[in-house]
Amino acid sequence: MKKESYIVLPILAVLCIALPLFYGDRYVIGQATVALIWATVALNWNLVFSMAGVFSLAQLAFFAVGGYTLAVLNGHFGISTWIALPVAGLVTMMVGMLSGAACLRLRGAYVALLTLALSQALYLLIVTDTACFRTEGGNCIPFTGGSRGLSRYEDFGFREFLPYPVSHIGDYGLAAALLIVSLFVAILVSRSPFGLGFRSIRDNEQYARARGLNRFRFQLSVFAISAAFTGMAGALYAGHFRVMGPNVLRLDVMLFVFAMIVVGGGLKIWGPLLGAAIITVLREVSVSFDSWQPTILGGIMLVVILLAPQGVSGLLALVDPRQRAGSRLERRKREGI
Amino acid sequence: MSEILECVGVGKRFGGVHALSDVNFTVTPGEIVGIGGPNGAGKTTLLEVITGLTPGSSGRVEFAGTDITGRTPEQVFCLGLARVFQSAAVFPSLTVFENVLAGVVYKGASKPRTPLTYRESDLEATRAAIDLVGLSDKADEVVEHLPILDRKLVTIASAICGKPKMLLLDEPVGGLTPPEIELLKEVLFKLKAHGITMLIIEHVMQFMSAMVDRVMILDAGRIIFNGAFNDMIRDVEVMRVYLGEQAAARLRESFAG
Amino acid sequence: MESIIQIFVSGLTLGAMYAVGTVSLSLLWGAVNVLNMAHGALLVIGGYASWYTATRLGIPPFLGYFSAALVSATMAVLMYLLILRWLKGRRGADVLIIVATFAIAMILENVVLNVFGGYAVAQPAKLSGGVYISSVFVPAQNILIMVLALVLMALLALILQRTALGRSIRAVAQNSQAAVLMGIKVQHTYIAVYAIAGAFAGFSGVLWSSISTLSPTMGFDPMLKAFVICVAAGLGQIGGALAVAILLGLAEAAIQYYVGVRFALPFLLLAVVALLIVRPQGLFGIHGKARQ
């Protein structure tokens, strides 16, 4: 990931403000809210890939931890969702650092396998959770809600303190704000000494060590930042839908978010955001082939991987003549010509 | 204690292979020491053991009064012992400026710092180091597309911008043309003038003779010669295992005077 | 005593099945450096191939093992020829391969779901009856699984150690460029590796579905276990993977018996994480050879 410019921030902000002004339709806003949440996850997942160079598959586990934290805090303990939201970020950050510490001693494929197994273990523990944590109206509610998930808890309550036309875009605004803040942090980090450290380690780890940079510490901090924002995105998701179930840990959800990164391209910080927009629109367009969604997504991913490995943002970068010269040289070098 | 670097009984085994056995030597501050020897003699392994990239199997390494045996490469670098890799290692996707900057921002990793902004002193040190190796007009170019000489200069700049006490250079002029060697020699002379101690692995004898105060020759993991360059080219053992009759004769001729 | 026998019977059965599946993954990783996330999908395809030939084409159920191996092997070879072949040698190829095989897995499972439906069906290639050891009932199918696993392992060892194909596979695994120079047809060897790995995956799909049921998502759990085994043994270590497979089968049976089914995977993962913190290259991996 190159040093990023802040210019994408105002562009994103303008787009986020423009949408409700021009397409205030409830359905559109609802879908856009979800798209913004997934875009936050994709953005932060890509930070782990392209900044830390770690192929972790634990991102949706972080998402689930954030969502469940909000659902549990509000549903079981009656803590306000507004307090639960940042707490979810903190809790997920700690979970991220813990799992990071366990995984980061390993390399490449080992990390992928272990993180996948960790998130599956989480799924199984939740699905098989049947011990009653409390009973409500004669119904037994396990701590995690088991396979049915948790549903008796509050949302962010925009309907209560905002007038009608604005209230139904409350969640949308929150999701947009989270994405913008997260993007800001990502750019800030990529431009800071911290980001220089990440890029150095990714480029040449041995050499970076010989210049005083410690891979473990850097990668752990990427895990922490990425997990914190992903956890808050999860909490937002839980608050928006008012139901949190284990299905976010299913493989097809992982493929869905992953497709955003692959299609958008991970080389640019904003690539996954573009990917999120493309995949969301695509899903809306192909809604009549609902049962074939995974095949369509998988097929698109394969085509992109084969023909445009840097995704759509990589293709756009090709239009820029400076980058084109660079990538041609790179290709020639790769092919050993 | 006058030595800046001291190796005592350093050994390294890879399985049954003794890459280094009982290596003892010292380097005094300001000294430039060359290391020669046939391929596979253990020269690079010696640097790796000193810098902590591969831990030694036995022995002790001391640097500037600190025992650095078993330290990580990060710690060794932060103590002021910087290595310049053989293969002109760079961060290919970074610019010249960023490459050099990376060599200074995390040098004092233990000191408190704000992770989000650069210290002005670091930026200045970077500019100075780039200036010293003569790459100022290429500071914003991406290193990947630079020729080998420039890349070597970049890694030297990144090694020196953190103001190390000592440099370890692994074949700094390997793969360069004679005029390029002259240019690099000038840069290293400037460093010598700054009082930086250097340990240089090199095969190019003309370069070696001009640079070093003393030469050590390694063969099969042992030091077989440790002394002045002029004595080295007359040493029977060195001639047999490394230089060969004819090359040694030619060297004696050119350096006889 | 009975509980011990019980644990050994189900543990060895599990271990035998893990072994067959793990060989497929380990072979692909060790020989062609591919982490196959579509392993589970190949299991599913194999399971359904056996079911389809037996119930729809009327072929004797036990030939299902062969149709499964055949169909899964074909699918694995196609996967290589159509997609993975083009990713070799690209920058970041290992990650691209993980992503691509992941996408292939989703497609295959989705197609199976849409063609055969999502309801679990019974695997016809299955023995009924069984024997008693002391007072513990041992289903004949469990015995068949153990025997088949042994036969398959012996067959693989024979191929790898004693045939020309095995020699080329080992050569390619060590250094594919040098293998080219030595006149080995690398492309043919690759295809053979994919075919063998696919066949083993298909076979293991029939075994798995024979003691549980057949469904489009049944491949995931065995795949995950196979991954855990490969990682614990050290990726690409076929012999080591077999030992760990048996060990893991027994451990899982014991945990299921004494602690509860739902804790088996988390417990095993904790153990593997702990192991990897001590030995990042796995139990049998060679230090410094852990692939980047």
- Angstrom distances, CA of residue C89 to CA of A287, B208, C39, C187: 37, 40, 22, 14
Rounded-to-integer distance, Cα A60 and Cα A181, Å: 20
Residue A321: pLDDT band (50, 70, 90) is low
Which chains are adjacent to chain B, needing at least 3 Cβ pairs under 8 Å?
A
Q: Which residues of A touch C277 (CB under 8 A)?
A: 102, 105
A305 reaches C (C-beta below 8 A): yes
* Contact (CB<8Å) A204/B109: no
B142 reaches A (C-beta below 8 A): yes
- Angstrom distances, CA of residue A175 to CA of A15, A59, A238, A282, C134: 13, 18, 12, 21, 63
Q: Is the pLDDT of residue A330 over 60?
A: no
Buried b (16+ CB within 10 A) or exposed e, B166-177: bbbbbbbbbebe
Task: Read off the amino acid at residue A280.
Answer: T
* Contact (CB<8Å) A117/C269: yes
Number of Cβ pairs < 8 A linking chain A and chain B: 95
Nearest 5°: CA angle at C103, between C98 and C108? 125
* Contact (CB<8Å) A213/B98: no
The residue extents of the domains of chain A are: 8-249, 251-337
* Contact (CB<8Å) A213/B102: yes
HSE at residue C236, side-chain half, CA atoms within 13 A, is 19
Q: Is A261 helix (H, G, I), strand (E, B) or coil?
A: helix
Smallest CA–CA distance from B105 into chain A, residue: A193
pLDDT digits (tens, 9 = 90+) for C51-83: 999 888 888 878 888 999 999 999 999 999 999
**Mean pLDDT along residues B199-227:** 88
- Angle formed by the axes of helices A26-46 and A8-22, to 10°? 160
Of A324 and C176, the structure prediction assigns the larger pLDDT to C176
Rounded-to-integer distance, Cα C50 and Cα C64, Å: 4
Computed over every residue of chain C, the mean pLDDT equals 85
* Contact (CB<8Å) B77/A2: no
**Mean pLDDT along residues C102-131:** 86
Per-residue confidence (pLDDT) for residue A203, from 0 to 100 = 83
Per-residue confidence (pLDDT) for residue A65, from 0 to 100 = 96
B72 reaches A (C-beta below 8 A): yes
Task: Read off the amino acid at residue C118.
Answer: G
Chosen for mutation from A305, A330, A335 (greatest number of chain C CBs closer than 10 Å) is A305
Per-residue confidence (pLDDT) for residue B206, from 0 to 100 = 83
Give the closest residue to C223 by CA, choosing from C9, C47, C67, C80. C47
Per-residue confidence (pLDDT) for residue C230, from 0 to 100 = 85
**Mean pLDDT along residues C91-117:** 89
Per-residue confidence (pLDDT) for residue C267, from 0 to 100 = 81
Residue B176: pLDDT band (50, 70, 90) is confident
* Contact (CB<8Å) A302/C227: no
* Contact (CB<8Å) A199/B90: no
Per-residue confidence (pLDDT) for residue B203, from 0 to 100 = 85
Chosen for mutation from A110, A128, A332 (greatest number of chain C CBs closer than 10 Å) is A110
**Mean pLDDT along residues B234-244:** 82
Q: Which helix (H) or strand (E) holds B5?
A: strand B5-14
Chosen for mutation from A202, A211, A225, A328 (greatest number of chain B CBs closer than 10 Å) is A211
Rounded-to-integer distance, Cα B5 and Cα B61, Å: 7
* Contact criterion met (CB below 8 Å) for C233 and C285: yes
Chosen for mutation from B74, B86, B142, B146 (greatest number of chain A CBs closer than 10 Å) is B74
**Mean pLDDT along residues B94-107:** 86
> Over the Cα atoms of chain B, what is R_g?
18
User: Which residues are within 8 A (CB) of A216 and not within 5 positions of it... i.e. 6 or more apart?
Assistant: A104, A105
| Tokens describing residue A204 | 């040449």
Of C240 and A86, the structure prediction assigns the larger pLDDT to A86
Q: Which residues of C touch A114 (CB under 8 A)?
A: 231, 269, 272-273, 276
A120 reaches C (C-beta below 8 A): yes
Per-residue confidence (pLDDT) for residue C286, from 0 to 100 = 62
Per-residue confidence (pLDDT) for residue C278, from 0 to 100 = 78
Chosen for mutation from B48, B75, B93 (greatest number of chain A CBs closer than 10 Å) is B93
What is the fold of C2-278?
Answer: ABC transporter involved in vitamin B12 uptake, BtuC (1.10.3470)
**Mean pLDDT along residues B55-73:** 87
Checking ipTM against 0.90, whether it exceeds it is no
Q: Where are the alpha helices (DSSP H) in chain B?
A: 43-51, 73-78, 96-105, 120-133, 148-160, 178-193, 205-211, 229-232, 236-238, 245-255
Q: Which residues of B touch A2 (CB under 8 A)?
A: 93
**Mean pLDDT along residues B234-241:** 82
Q: Is the pLDDT of residue B103 over 70?
A: yes
* Contact (CB<8Å) C235/A110: yes
| Tokens describing residue A294 | 């995974």
* Contact (CB<8Å) C110/A301: no
Distance from CA of B251 to the nearest CA of A (A): 35
Per-residue confidence (pLDDT) for residue C176, from 0 to 100 = 75
HSE at residue B4, side-chain half, CA atoms within 13 A, is 20
Q: Is the pLDDT of residue B223 over 70?
A: yes
Strand B17-27 and strand A132-136: the pairing is: unpaired
C87 reaches A (C-beta below 8 A): yes
Secondary structure, 3-state, C191-228: HHHHHHHHHHHHHHHHHHHHHCCECCCCCHHHHHHHHH
Q: Which residues of A touch C261 (CB under 8 A)?
A: 128
Smallest CA–CA distance from A325 into chain B, residue: B145
A106 reaches C (C-beta below 8 A): yes
Question: Worst-scoring range by mean pLDDT, A14-18, B24-28, C232-236?
Answer: C232-236
Q: Please report the residues numbered 176 through 235 in chain B whose beta carbons come closer than 8 angstroms to any beta carbon of chain A.
A: none
B157 reaches A (C-beta below 8 A): no
Residue C46: pLDDT band (50, 70, 90) is very high
Q: Where are the alpha helices (DSSP H) in chain C?
A: 2-32, 39-55, 64-79, 85-87, 93-116, 140-162, 164-174, 176-181, 186-211, 220-233, 238-258, 264-278
Rounded-to-integer distance, Cα A230 and Cα A244, Å: 15
Of C176 and B8, the structure prediction assigns the larger pLDDT to B8
Per-residue confidence (pLDDT) for residue A336, from 0 to 100 = 41
Backbone angles phi, psi at B215, to 5 degrees: -125, 140
Of A39 and B65, the structure prediction assigns the larger pLDDT to A39
* Contact (CB<8Å) C106/A305: no
Per-residue confidence (pLDDT) for residue C78, from 0 to 100 = 96
E strands present in chain A: 132-136, 139-142
Per-residue confidence (pLDDT) for residue A236, from 0 to 100 = 95
Q: Is the pLDDT of residue B93 over 60?
A: yes
* Contact (CB<8Å) B91/A188: no
For the four alpha carbons of A202, A206, A211 and A213, in that order, the dihedral sign comes to positive
| Tokens describing residue A245 | 């179930």
Computed over every residue of chain A, the mean pLDDT equals 84
**Mean pLDDT along residues A18-47:** 90
For the four alpha carbons of B183, B186, B190 and B192, in that order, the dihedral sign comes to positive
B83 reaches A (C-beta below 8 A): yes
* Contact (CB<8Å) B144/A204: no
B53 reaches A (C-beta below 8 A): yes
Q: Which residues of B touch A200 (CB under 8 A)?
A: 91, 94, 102
Smallest CA–CA distance from A326 into chain B, residue: B145
Chosen for mutation from A49, A253, A295 (greatest number of chain C CBs closer than 10 Å) is A295
pLDDT digits (tens, 9 = 90+) for C203-250: 999 999 988 888 888 888 888 888 888 888 877 677 788 888 888 889
* Contact (CB<8Å) A329/B83: no
Q: Is the pLDDT of residue B142 over 80?
A: yes
Q: Which residues of C touch A333 (CB under 8 A)?
A: none
**Mean pLDDT along residues B124-147:** 88
C277 reaches A (C-beta below 8 A): yes
pLDDT digits (tens, 9 = 90+) for B157-171: 998 888 888 999 988
A157 in the Ramachandran plot: left (φ > 0), alpha (ψ -120 to 50) or beta?
Answer: left
Q: Please report the residues numbered 213 through 252 in chain A whose beta carbons come closer than 8 angstroms to any beta carbon of chain C.
A: 251-252
Rounded-to-integer distance, Cα A111 and Cα A322, Å: 35
Per-residue confidence (pLDDT) for residue C62, from 0 to 100 = 82
